Amino acid sequence: MTKYAPRLPIIINDKDKNNDFIYIEEAIPNVRQDLKMLLLTNPGEKLMDPNFGVGVRRYLFELQNGVIDTRVDNGTKSFFIKDLKNELSQRIINQVNSYMPQITINSIETTDVDKSLYLTINFSYLGFFTDIFTIN
């Protein structure tokens, strides 16, 4: 059977005489784990690739309070609340296109309720199957 990657968190298989890891042996769970790692990794956190990662945790408190940003147009300074949900969705799409080109994002729904951020991502994998991934 094909072994895609160690299942995270990493666990040693006590039944294996070689003390090997427990592996993911199906494509769907492997894609879901890879997507989760891409979403939860902060940019700069992965060694040798500072651009990898969405950094979803950064958006949690910003979505609750809104972030006031400034913009200067023709010498006039104006204040506005950033559209962080749209920014987060665009960041996810850009990261998936760069690091997981085998996935096509069909839709992203962001909801913030009671200081929790819920992401529901509908995606297709190589055109073979469609799945919905939810993380909070």
The single residue listed with the structure tokens 């427990």 is 22
For residue 110, give the CATH number of its domain: 3.10.450.40
Instruction: Dump pLDDT digits (tens) for 72-109.
Output: 666 665 544 456 778 888 999 999 999 999 999 999 99
Rounded Cα gap, residues 100 and 32, in angstroms: 11
Contact indicator for 23, 5 with CB cutoff of 8 Å = yes
Contact indicator for 42, 58 with CB cutoff of 8 Å = yes
pTM of the model: 0.76
Instruction: Dump pLDDT digits (tens) for 47-80.
Output: 899 999 999 888 766 655 555 455 566 666 554 4
Contact indicator for 78, 57 with CB cutoff of 8 Å = no
11, pLDDT greater than 90: no
Q: Give the number of domains in the chain.
A: 1
Residue 19's pLDDT band, with cuts at 50, 70 and 90, is: low
14, pLDDT greater than 80: no
Average pLDDT over residues 30-49: 92
DSSP string, 20-56: PBPEE-SHHHHHHHHHHHHHHSPTT-STT-TT----H
pLDDT at position 26 is 84
pLDDT at position 72 is 61
- Displacement of CA 84 from its chain's centroid (Å): 15
Contact indicator for 71, 77 with CB cutoff of 8 Å = yes
Residue 46: count of CB within 10 angstroms of its CB:
15
- Beta strands 76-81 and 68-73, pairing class: antiparallel
Rounded Cα gap, residues 103 and 123, in angstroms: 6
Domain interval for residue 73: 5-135
The single residue listed with the structure tokens 């609340």 is 81
